[in-house]
Structure 1
Amino acid sequence: MATASGHTQAIQASRVIGTDVYNTDGHHIGSIEDVMLDKLSNSIMFAVIGFGGFLGIGEKYHAIPWASLDYDPSRGGYVVSFTREQLEAAPVYDISELSSTDGTKVRETSYNYYNVPPYWM
């Protein structure tokens, strides 16, 4: 069954990882490095968007609420409705911070920063 935007409800995580992410201006902001799952609520906590660095060295990560990503077939990637300035000022993390405190601190900071309604309430 498709969602209101015409997307399927299910997708393999392996197909999501590596997909490019753009802002609405069409600027490439990175790619999906991973997806953090909330095992207790059976929900997706956030997508991990990698940017910067070279060959994995010095790379930083944005934790973007999954609900903020919309797949655009014409771009072959996901689009987020955040401005370049919002993304540049967004909290960034190293890989170990993403799962510390079971991801809840990053999740809450991310949803607050991007002003996305929390799925866990």
Structure 2
Amino acid sequence: MNYENRDSMGMYRPFQNNPAALSSEDGPGPHLMGAETLIGNNVFNHEGLNLGDIKEIMLDMRSGGVSYAVLEFGGFLGLGSKLFAVPWGALTLDTVAKRFVMNVSKEQLENAPGFEKDDWPDMADPMWEQSVHDFYGTKPYQRPL
């Protein structure tokens, strides 16, 4: 599923029949998008392998910034799958295919720091945060003082 399919408020309608508008600064998307429309979007790697879909978007309530997308990967019909906190900076929006892309292989993701649905990590722990950013090669964004 993609953000246009999940758009219940019509925010992307002006862009659906005008691909040139996606490079415009007018209106929502791809520079400003609704979080609800992004949940459920597929995430692929650069080889075209579907890595799963976004289950949640984690906001830093201190700064208002987006910290992570929670990606569900593996398993079958939700059984045996695992969740992964992917730094927002590790994702790129592909506006042509209408999906997210990240630069990891299936094997790399299988070895990523993940967690179970009923055992979420302490995402405010600086050591946990650093380990996630180290894995994906991203830097935590700077919070305002």
Fold similarity call, TM over 0.5: yes
The reply to whether residue 41 of structure 1 matches residue 39 of structure 2 is: no
Give the drift of 1:41: 1.5
Normalised by the length of structure 2, the TM-score is 0.69
Pairing partner for 1:11 from 21, 28, 33: 33
Aligned length: 115
Q: Runs of 5+ in structure 2 lacking a partner?
A: 1-23
Q: Runs of 5+ in structure 1 lacking a partner?
A: none
User: Would the alpha carbon gap of residues 12 and 29 (structure 1) be closer, same or farther in structure 2, given more than 3 Å must change?
Assistant: same
The reply to whether residue 67 of structure 1 matches residue 89 of structure 2 is: yes
Give the residue type in structure 1 aligned to 2:46: T
In the alignment, is the contact (CA less than 8 A) between 1:69 and 1:80 conserved in 2? yes
- Provide the aligned C-alpha RMSD in A: 2.1
Pairing partner for 1:77 from 69, 83, 99: 99
With 106-115 and 8-17 compared, the bigger mean Cα shift is at 106-115
Bigger radius of gyration among the two? 2
* Residues 1-57 of structure 1, C-alpha deviations (whole Å, 9 max, x = no match): 74xxxx632111111000000001110000000001110011111000001234444
SS of equivalent to 1:14: helix
SS of equivalent to 1:62: strand
Normalised by the length of structure 1, the TM-score is 0.81
User: Would the alpha carbon gap of residues 120 and 104 (structure 1) be closer, same or farther in structure 2, given more than 3 Å must change?
Assistant: farther
In the alignment, is the contact (CA less than 8 A) between 1:18 and 1:33 conserved in 2? yes
* Residues 73-108 of structure 1, C-alpha deviations (whole Å, 9 max, x = no match): 23221000123332121111123444x43x123433
